[in-house]
Protein backbone atom coordinates (compact mmCIF):
# COMPACT_ATOMS: atom_id res chain seq x y z
CA UNK A 1 0.00 0.00 0.00
CA UNK A 2 1.29 3.44 -0.84
CA UNK A 3 0.98 6.67 1.03
CA UNK A 4 -0.24 9.95 -0.47
CA UNK A 5 3.24 10.85 -1.74
CA UNK A 6 3.50 7.71 -3.89
CA UNK A 7 6.02 6.14 -1.53
CA UNK A 8 5.36 2.89 0.38
CA UNK A 9 3.33 3.51 3.55
CA UNK A 10 5.73 2.21 6.21
CA UNK A 11 5.37 3.21 9.81
CA UNK A 12 7.55 6.29 10.35
CA UNK A 13 8.26 6.28 6.60
CA UNK A 14 11.15 3.82 7.05
CA UNK A 15 11.05 0.31 5.55
CA UNK A 16 11.67 -2.56 7.98
CA UNK A 17 15.31 -3.48 8.40
CA UNK A 18 16.39 -6.88 7.00
CA UNK A 19 17.74 -7.85 10.44
CA UNK A 20 14.33 -7.41 11.99
CA UNK A 21 12.82 -9.65 9.31
CA UNK A 22 15.38 -12.34 10.02
CA UNK A 23 14.77 -11.98 13.77
CA UNK A 24 10.99 -12.29 13.24
CA UNK A 25 11.53 -15.38 11.07
CA UNK A 26 13.72 -17.06 13.69
CA UNK A 27 11.18 -16.28 16.42
CA UNK A 28 8.37 -17.73 14.31
CA UNK A 29 10.40 -20.82 13.38
CA UNK A 30 11.16 -21.60 17.02
CA UNK A 31 7.73 -20.91 18.52
CA UNK A 32 4.25 -22.41 18.70
CA UNK A 33 5.38 -26.03 18.43
CA UNK A 34 6.48 -25.50 14.84
CA UNK A 35 9.63 -27.58 15.25
CA UNK A 36 7.62 -30.53 16.59
CA UNK A 37 5.22 -30.35 13.64
CA UNK A 38 8.13 -30.06 11.20
CA UNK A 39 9.90 -33.06 12.74
CA UNK A 40 6.71 -35.14 12.65
CA UNK A 41 6.15 -34.29 9.00
CA UNK A 42 9.83 -34.95 8.25
CA UNK A 43 9.70 -38.40 9.83
CA UNK A 44 6.71 -39.40 7.71
CA UNK A 45 7.65 -37.78 4.39
CA UNK A 46 11.38 -38.49 4.69
CA UNK A 47 10.78 -42.17 5.43
CA UNK A 48 8.39 -42.54 2.49
CA UNK A 49 10.78 -40.76 0.14
CA UNK A 50 13.71 -42.89 1.31
CA UNK A 51 11.70 -46.06 0.75
CA UNK A 52 10.82 -44.88 -2.74
CA UNK A 53 14.33 -43.70 -3.64
CA UNK A 54 16.49 -46.30 -1.88
CA UNK A 55 14.03 -49.07 -1.03
CA UNK A 56 15.70 -51.64 -3.28
CA UNK A 57 19.07 -50.96 -1.64
CA UNK A 58 17.60 -51.09 1.87
CA UNK A 59 15.61 -54.28 1.26
CA UNK A 60 18.55 -56.07 -0.35
CA UNK A 61 20.73 -55.43 2.69
CA UNK A 62 23.12 -53.00 1.01
CA UNK A 63 24.25 -49.87 2.78
CA UNK A 64 22.23 -46.91 1.50
CA UNK A 65 23.85 -43.72 0.29
CA UNK A 66 24.07 -41.81 3.59
CA UNK A 67 24.26 -38.40 1.93
CA UNK A 68 21.03 -39.04 0.03
CA UNK A 69 19.44 -40.46 3.18
CA UNK A 70 20.26 -37.34 5.21
CA UNK A 71 19.25 -34.99 2.41
CA UNK A 72 15.92 -36.78 1.99
CA UNK A 73 15.09 -35.92 5.60
CA UNK A 74 16.60 -32.42 5.56
CA UNK A 75 14.60 -31.12 2.60
CA UNK A 76 11.11 -31.83 4.03
CA UNK A 77 12.20 -30.37 7.38
CA UNK A 78 13.37 -27.14 5.74
CA UNK A 79 10.26 -26.85 3.59
CA UNK A 80 7.90 -27.48 6.52
CA UNK A 81 9.75 -25.07 8.81
CA UNK A 82 9.99 -22.27 6.26
CA UNK A 83 6.32 -22.65 5.26
CA UNK A 84 5.17 -22.74 8.87
CA UNK A 85 7.28 -19.78 9.96
CA UNK A 86 6.12 -17.75 6.96
CA UNK A 87 2.49 -18.53 7.76
CA UNK A 88 2.98 -17.50 11.40
CA UNK A 89 4.67 -14.25 10.37
CA UNK A 90 1.77 -13.35 8.06
CA UNK A 91 -0.75 -14.12 10.79
CA UNK A 92 0.94 -11.77 13.29
Q: What confidence tens digit (pLDDT) does each residue in 28-42 have?
A: 999 879 999 999 999
In this prediction, residue 43 carries a pLDDT of 97
Residue 22 lies in a domain: no
Does residue 51 fall inside a structural domain? yes
d(CA 26, CA 29): 5
Other CB atoms within 10 A of residue 51 CB: 13
Nearest residue to 39 via CA among 74, 89, 65? 74
Q: Does 7 fall in a domain? A: no
Residues of the chain with pLDDT under 50: 1-2
Can you give the residue range of the structural domain that contains 54? Answer: 33-91
Number of domains composing the chain: 1
Query: Is 61 among the domain residues?
Result: yes
Q: Is residue 28 part of a domain?
A: no
52 in any annotated domain: yes
pLDDT at position 92, please? 73
pLDDT of residue 10: 52
Amino acid sequence: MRGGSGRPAYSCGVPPMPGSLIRRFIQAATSDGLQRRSLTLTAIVGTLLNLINQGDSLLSGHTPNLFKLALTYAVPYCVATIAGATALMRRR
